[in-house]
Amino acid sequence: MLIFAAFTAAIMNNCRESRKETKAPAGAAEEIIPESGLVKIGSDIITEVILKPEITGDPWEAEKIKGFNGDQMFMNLLEKIKHDAIKVYDCITGEEIAPKDAKRILQETGSDISRIGKIQFTEDWYFNPSNNSIIKKVKSVSLGYETKREAGLPPAYVPYFQIKPE
């Protein structure tokens, strides 16, 4: 028991020492949004979500998306793309895709929403010091279309469309 107490005290002391030495990276000044009191803590953060993780893979991946049901959103977005009702962008370059090219992509893929296997969000993150909440502002969502590879390899994802709120 005495050894455990000494070990715990040593670890706690090391943690305190390492916290003292931790410094913010140079140039990482926090931007404060005066009217809201929010502190901007991240800009253009990309969050990736695999929508159909390998069943035999990491159980945490399956747990992370157990409450996700994006079919209605995907159908709505693809319908809007078909009818030129929204602008879409290239996932890699961020350049706008011409409506005729977007329709061609839809025709080539068959618009099968069950094959949308990955989404990426580009976000700005804010911290509210008054209640310790974190707020994420989504700037775009990119859809990845699942493609099958050789036997034994996990699926690959082809960049499909990037959509920005208007």
The pLDDT mean for the chain works out to 81
Looking at per-residue confidence, does 158 or 33 come out higher?
158
pLDDT higher than threshold 80 for residue 26: no
pLDDT higher than threshold 70 for residue 17: no
CB-based contact 158:90 (threshold 8 Å): no
Provide Rg for the chain, Cα atoms: 22
CB-based contact 164:87 (threshold 8 Å): yes
Q: What is the pLDDT of residues 53-72, one digit of tens each?
A: 876 667 888 888 889 999 99
Quick one: DSSP state of residue 27?
T
pLDDT grade, residue 27 (50/70/90)? very low
Looking at per-residue confidence, does 7 or 54 come out higher?
54
Residue boundaries of the structural domains of the chain:
33-163
Q: What is the pLDDT of residues 77-104, one digit of tens each?
A: 999 999 999 999 999 999 999 999 999 9
CB-based contact 46:120 (threshold 8 Å): yes
* One-letter amino acid of 84: D
Percent of the chain scoring above 70 in pLDDT? 78
Q: What is the pLDDT of residues 98-137, one digit of tens each?
A: 999 999 988 888 778 888 999 999 999 999 999 999 999 9
CB-based contact 128:37 (threshold 8 Å): yes
How far is 100 from 88, CA to CA, in rounded Å? Answer: 11
pLDDT grade, residue 154 (50/70/90)? confident
The total of other beta-carbon atoms located within 10 Å of residue 164's CB is: 16
Rounded to two decimals, the pTM is 0.73
